[in-house]
Amino acid sequence: MPTTPEETLAEEERRSTKSGASAIGAGLLILVGSLLAIAGNSGFPRLYLLDTLRSELGQLPPGAPGPIARVALFLEDNLPLIVGARLVTAVALALMGLAMVHLYRSTKARNADVNKVALIASISGAVLAVIAGTVAALGLAQDVSAFADAARQSEAAARDALADPFTTGAVQLAGLGSAILGLGIALTALNAMRVGLLTRFMGILGVIVGVLSFLPQLEGQLPFVKIFWLGALGALFLDRWPGGRPPAWQTGEAQPWPTQQELREARMAARGETVEPAQDEAPKERRPRRSRLEEPKTPAPELPATKPHSSSKKKKKSRKRR
């Protein structure tokens, strides 16, 4: 790990080309894999509920293949496109892991307190996704080819071919690896944004890309957000960012983004307005609550003496006569 900003910049210069090519290549391969998957799944046989129930109960008419058998035969006919899409996506995940390692190392050089969870998740998730994804693709090819070459293409045989435990387990492990890699992407992007290597837009977009790895259904068949973010990240690594890269790439040190208060003060200074420092006001003293039984400190004002009314004098005289 470099100890000075000069060593940090020199090391980043050595690996910037490889890392930028990895990020851009990952985005392109994800695009190619998505297009291959769309082409391979076009014309996928429709599965109707009634036919599926008949297949489960063994009440299909003899002769024509059942719905599960039609799916297996369709996969065998489009095997090059489907397997190619999975293999290309696996390579793209490996390149994404390399790009995340470069971004993590640059972040670590500017903040030694960055946790290693992001690095471990990026490497382990990429390795697991690549290995399991490759095994799942090859296992699917072997299963559907064996079914297509079999003399008897029954519904039970097709169901066994598509639900092979080894291939199904590899598919689940590939999904788990992709989710772990997404966690590494989100943490790495967040830490890089905090030290100033990524703009706030790129940092938040990286977190979104990581979260979408947990929910692949939201990405759809063409993950535009991930493709755009990887392409922009590659341009940033290669110093092709519009308007220049953030200052942290030039100084080799952390350059946190200014807060909203600092931005407001900078705008006021640019307009020539004086920025008055906020003065802390002394808290107001609360008056103690006076008890009801407590006598007031100042006596009540005395009422002026009034002359008795004439009617009251008559009442007094009448009382004396009695």
Domain for residue 111, yes or no?
Answer: yes
Indicate the residue type of 294: E
| Mean pLDDT, residues 131-153 | 90
Number of domains present in the structure of the chain: 1
Domain for residue 21, yes or no?
Answer: yes
Domain for residue 263, yes or no?
Answer: no
Domain for residue 273, yes or no?
Answer: no
Domain for residue 32, yes or no?
Answer: yes
Whether the per-residue pLDDT at 281 is higher than 70: the answer is: no
| Mean pLDDT, residues 252-256 | 88
Instruction: Match 């807060």 to its residue by tokens.
Output: 259
Give the residue numbers spanning the domain of 135. 5-53+64-247
Taking a C-beta distance cutoff of 8 angstroms, is the pair 54, 60 a contact?
A: yes
| Mean pLDDT, residues 246-269 | 80
- Model pTM score: 0.77
Whether the per-residue pLDDT at 185 is higher than 70: the answer is: yes
92-130 burial by CB neighbour count: b if 16+ within 10 A, else e? bbbbbbbbbbbbbbbbbbbbeebeeebbebbbbbbbbbb
In the chain, the percentage of residues whose pLDDT exceeds 90 is 53
Domain for residue 284, yes or no?
Answer: no
Distances (CA, A) of 161 to 110, 133, 154, 303: 52, 18, 11, 108
Q: What is the pLDDT of residue 173?
A: 96
Reported confidence tier of residue 280, pLDDT bands at 50, 70, 90: very low
Domain for residue 259, yes or no?
Answer: no
Domain for residue 171, yes or no?
Answer: yes
| Mean pLDDT, residues 11-26 | 94
